Amino acid sequence: MFHKKFKSRFVAVAILSTLVGLQSCKPKTAATAVSGDAAQKVYVAPGQHDEFYAFVSGGFSGQVSVYGIPSGRLFKVLPVFSADPESGYGYSEESRNMLMTSHGYIPWGDEHHLSFSQTNGEYDGRWLFANENNTPRVARIDLKTFHTTEIIEIPNSAGNHSSPFITDNSEYVVAGTRFSVPFDEDEKDIPISSYADKFSGAISFISVNPESGRMDVAFQLKTPPVNYDLSHTGKGPSSGWFFFSTYNTEKAYTLLEVNSSQRDKDFILAVNWKKAEEYVKAGKARKVKANYAHNIMDEHSFTVQSTIKDEVLVLDIKDLDGICYYIPCPKSPHGADVDPTGEYIVGSGKLASLIPVFSFQKMMKAIEEKNYEGTFDGVPVLKYDAVLHGEVKKPGLGPLHTEFDAHGNAYTSFFVSSEVVKWNVKTLEVIDRQPTFYSTGHLTVAGGDSKTPYGKYLVAWNKITKDRYLPTGPELCQSAQLFDITGDKMQLLLDFPTIGEPHYAVMIPASKIKDNQVRIFDITKNNHPFVAKGEGETKIVRNGNRVDIYMTLIRSHITPDNIEGIKVGDEVYFHVTNLEQDWDLPHGFTILGSTAAELLILPGETKTMKWMPKKTGIVPFYCTDFCSALHQEMQGYVRVSPAGSNTPLRYGTGDTAPKAE
């Protein structure tokens, strides 16, 4: 009897432990993960505002989306690296220049990471920087207008992944290349198998003008050929340093899946950028040939100037002392993240089963004592143990990225084991772990990469949703999961779907942005070369087969709305000015058969659409953005006559419309 009872107990324990085992492999269901007050915590009543803005990278959409947190409501998709028919970005004559590169016009980009401008290590709410991975570029978005106002291409780079991370006073935005390639100055038509000898890595430092935000590639570091993944600025004691994760220190150039995972450790590259800056000032940088585009929007004319630059300053890191040191880091690290105190550097080795935490103080001591384990292509490699603060043991599988709160805690995302893990930076003890649904890439704590984290919320950005939402055919949405991190345990509050692939995101208190919003563009300051400041300035100018139409919009008519004398083969430019001066009153414009997208014109703005009429006939145009009770009346006609005909140029609206001949 006793024996039997014992046996059944044993079986029960065995079943239970099997269940527990299963449980730990398979994430909990939503029902067990979400507790009762979650809905209340994310409910933002109608007419109320969210507490935080989240700017979320759009991945292969090329754009950046803007959400409210905690509600998870989508406010806007900002056009950055991809053309956007909804706003006319990349289609209007002005904005096409923003997408110019050394390869010509490119309508698409792969947008991965974001950084807010910082002052003293804190978000200052002025600008948002975004990177483009495929054709290496960095964009600056003005947070007063939410417009992309500048894009700069990165020379000698290929796959701008380790970007656009920023120094703690916005001195520089960095751009570390994913693919090492031969520099423009080197021989380029060479065998791929010469990777180890002839290829180079590039880390670019893009200066940011403290007043205007204007960017410039100040200098580049030419490095051994490896892959750069992510990076973050030092702060406080480590201010002046930047930390870049590297992988493929094996220098593989084929089947990287296997060949770049051979070594036990790759590196975090510590860069003393203040020192590099000194070398540049001392004239130690070489001026080399390069080829890259720089596009800048003028805020009063709304036009974009695109120029091609042909030079860049380069520092070879192997030739200069004191700029770069390698910290060994297991294995193929993704995140290189610095805690708010600036003392601890966390490497998240995406194939490692532990998280190493390095100490800045120890690093400085090791440098001082030349405590090297050797060199890598002429650059010193510090001893792992000399720099290590400690390791978080068995944290989970596939650590990717770590952010921080203001209470000494770190939060790391785990791709393979689909979870977020909270641990203490000093003691390295795991405090809590919560499942995510599924396969988290990056995570975001509000202010979590700055000197002053706001905490409160954490969002996990998931690559896979499987069964989480109503299915939408073979392609499913990717998603975000919001956690409350005010307690010891993280509490799952909300799932919401995202645009494209949410690689990375940054969150900022709404108060840092919402009161600085530009509501209208002052029409008196509009100096677009084709503006019409009032209906009295509307006109049509023909010059050969080029026709410039100076047009105005106001609720609810277009001036001129009757146009005659346009001919097949003409190159017609509609320069459309919105005369409204009130918030939230854009007008749209389009014409039948337009091969561009619509124009969305904000109050006080002028935008231009190019139109090449191909057929004789009467062609209507209209306002595309519902503006008033008489929106449906906001329309006009162009009479297109055959090529070579002599229909006179006549135009007007109402009393001034062309009369019967």
Residues that bind other proteins (CB under 8 A): 40-41, 43-45, 47-51, 510-511, 515, 520, 522-524, 533-537, 552, 554-557, 559, 579-582, 585, 628-630, 654
Measure CA 148 to chain center. Answer: 11
Show Cβ contacts of residue 276 under 8 Å, excluding neighbours closer than 6 positions.
Answer: 205, 219, 221, 315, 320, 323
Least CB distance to other proteins at residue 487 (A): 16
For the beta carbon of residue 207, count every other beta carbon within 10 angstroms. 17
- Is the alpha carbon torsion for 211, 451, 342, 316 positive or negative? negative
Could you write out the DSSP letters of every residue in 365-411?
HHHHTT-EEEEETTEEEE-HHHHEEEEEES--SSEEEEEE-TTSEEE
Least spacing, CB of residue 604 vs other proteins, in Å: 9
Q: Which is nearer to other proteins, 53 or 414 (CB)?
A: 53
Give the nearer residue to other proteins in terms of CB position, either 43 or 469: 43
Shortest spacing between CB 516 and other proteins, in angstroms: 12
Compute how many other C-beta atoms are within 10 angstroms of the C-beta atom of residue 335. 27
Separation CA 309–CA 291 (nearest Å): 6
Identify residue 97 by its one-letter amino acid code: N
Residue closer to other proteins, measured from CB, 51 or 449 = 51
CB contact set of 150 (below 8 Å; sequence gap of 6+): 139, 140, 213, 214, 215, 295, 296, 297
CB of 212 to other proteins, least distance (A): 25
Nearer to other proteins, 499 or 553 (CB): 553
For residue 482, how many C-alpha atoms fall within 13 Å in the half-sphere facing its CB?
25
Least separation in angstroms between residue 71's CB and other proteins is: 9
Identity of the residue, 354 or 520, whose beta carbon is nearer to other proteins in the bound complex: 520
Is 83 or 627 the residue whose CB approaches other proteins more closely?
627
DSSP state of 180: -
Q: Residues 554, 560, 563, 569: is their CA dihedral positive or negative?
A: negative
Place of tokens 């998280």: 355
User: Could you tell me the two tokens for 658?
Assistant: 């062309």
Q: Least distance (Å) from other proteins to the CB of residue 50?
A: 7
Nearer to other proteins, 367 or 494 (CB): 494
Full 3-state SS string of 550-562: EEEEECCEEECCE
CB of 447 to other proteins, least distance (A): 17
Strand 409-414, strand 419-424: pairing: antiparallel
Q: Using the minimum distance from each CB to other proteins, give the nearer residue, 524 or 543.
A: 524
Burial 46-70 (b: 16+ CB within 10 A, else e): eeeebbbbbbbbbbbbbbbbbbbbb
CB closer to other proteins, 40 vs 646: 40
d(CA 448, CA 232): 12
Q: Nearest approach, Cβ of 298 to other proteins (angstroms)?
A: 21
Reply yes or no: is the peptide bond before residue 237 cis, omega within 30 of 0.
no
**Whole-number minimum distance, CB 556 to other proteins, in Å?**
6
Do the Cβ atoms of 404 and 452 come closer than 8 Å? no
Token pair in block for residue 213: 């935000």
Q: What is the DSSP string of 315-370?
A: EEGGGSTTSEEEEEESSSEEEEEE-TTS-EEEEEETT-SEEEEEEHHHHHHHHHTT
Q: Could you tell me which residues come within 8 angstroms of residue 319 by beta carbon, excluding any fewer than 6 positions away?
A: 378
